[in-house]
Amino acid sequence: MKSNFFQIALLLLLFNNCKDKYDFKSNGGIGNLVIDGNITDGPGPYFLKLSTTAGVYLSPAPLTGASIDIVDNTGSHESYVEIGKGKYKLNGAVVKGVKGGAYSIEIILSDGRHYKSTQEAMPLLQSQDSASFEVAKIRLVSSEGVPVDNLVVKVFLNSILPKTDAPAYFRWSVDEVYRLYPTCFPNPFNTCPPTCYISLPVTNSNLEIVNASEYTDRRLDNILLMTRDVDHTFQSKHYFNINQYSLNKNAFAYWRKVNGLVTRKGSIFDTPAANLQGNVFNVYNSEERVFGYFEASLQYTTHVGVARGYIPGDLENPCRFTGLRNFGNNYPKVCIDCLSIDGSTNTQPSWFE
């Protein structure tokens, strides 16, 4: 739990609202394309993010001005629309994700570089998921050598894998959505600003990958997907969304390689290996390294909500009014205008209670 609210706010502002956002930091290359996106069997829209590596251990720079098209196995095609900060949206008016369909994308950058992906087949099988959580204390040792009890929420997965002779591959990731009530300040007699619902993206610390054939009883029981420190985001209802993706063989091989190359403490692309090639390639330069993977997958989401009553004790509230020091420019902007936080919306998700 951090005591400095402005550090917290800065971190939150770095997040975006893509579900599968990974913090790719380059190990030296500059200008390599980074792709993060998929198409699922949901109704759409579908999202894709483009960026380029920026140098040694720097986060990638958003890539704007690209032309992106998707084509399916029937020959139908549709263009993505740029929505800002390197994010592109496919409305799904023509090309929709369906079981058994196959999809590829074509990308042309503003500088003329031309990329394509291999055709990705969407699987047919899903598993049956349920999830749970527990609140626990973990004993840590501070930098001064003092034992400290840290309050955490642990998220667990149970899944019944399909019993079939056909190959079946899956990955799970966890994103979060919490509710934030902005402060009725400086005039509490005015109408209070609307409530915000803020999405926190996925990191590799909550990534699980499974080949169903490796489990004779076809069950996953109490798999720990995530351990999350309790902080101010638990002041109100806080949801963990467990996203299941059914993968084809090639996508499974890629994600297993990723999982084997990174630790559970960093980000998924902290130190990308030279051979971590996805399924996107430069049409005219096969030697160029492209990071990331364009995926066609079935998706199923399980929602687990942690109500405030499950969290014992007091929680830090960086927006709590504490007197004259809160007046004027000293009062945190995000406490008055929570839409200033990336990933924030006033629209309540349909599953959010």
pTM (two decimals): 0.80
16-25, 84-93, 201-210, 324-333: least confident range: 16-25
Task: For 73-123, write each residue's pLDDT tens digit.
Answer: 999 999 999 998 899 999 999 999 999 999 999 999 999 999 999 999 999
Residue 10 pLDDT exceeds 70:
no
If phi over 0 gives left and psi between -120 and 50 gives alpha, with beta otherwise, what is residue 73? Answer: alpha
CB 54 within 8 A of CB 26: yes
Task: For 220-261, write each residue's pLDDT tens digit.
Answer: 999 999 999 999 999 999 999 999 999 999 999 988 887 776
Distance CA 234, CA 23 (A): 24
- Average pLDDT value for the chain: 83
**How much helix, strand and coil, in percent to the nearest 5, is found in the chain?**
15, 45, 45
The residue assigned the tokens 């993706």 is 245
Residue 275 pLDDT exceeds 70:
no
Residue 7 pLDDT exceeds 50:
no
State what percent of residues in the chain have pLDDT above 90: 54
**Phi/psi at 258 (nearest 5 deg)?**
-60, -45
Residue with the bigger pLDDT between 69 and 5: it is: 69
Residue 15 pLDDT exceeds 60:
no
Please report the DSSP string for 117-159 in residue order: E--EE--S---EEEEEEEEEEEEEE-TTS-EEEEEEEEEEEEE
- Write down the pLDDT at residue 327: 53
Mean pLDDT calculated for residue range 329-344? 81
CB 44 within 8 A of CB 103: no
The residue assigned the tokens 């920026």 is 54
Q: Which residues contact 275 (CB under 8 A, 6 or more apart)?
A: none
What ranges do the domains of the chain cover? 23-124+276-297, 128-245+302-345
Residue with the bigger pLDDT between 12 and 287: it is: 287
11-15, 214-218, 338-342: least confident range: 11-15
- Could you tell me the pLDDT band of residue 14, with boundaries at 50, 70 and 90? very low
Task: For 34-73, write each residue's pLDDT tens digit.
Answer: 998 999 999 889 999 999 887 766 778 899 999 999 999 9
If phi over 0 gives left and psi between -120 and 50 gives alpha, with beta otherwise, what is residue 254? Answer: alpha
Q: Identify the CA nearest to 39 among candidates 86, 77, 67.
A: 77
Q: What fold, for 23-124+276-297?
A: Immunoglobulin-like (2.60.40)
DSSP designation for 254: H
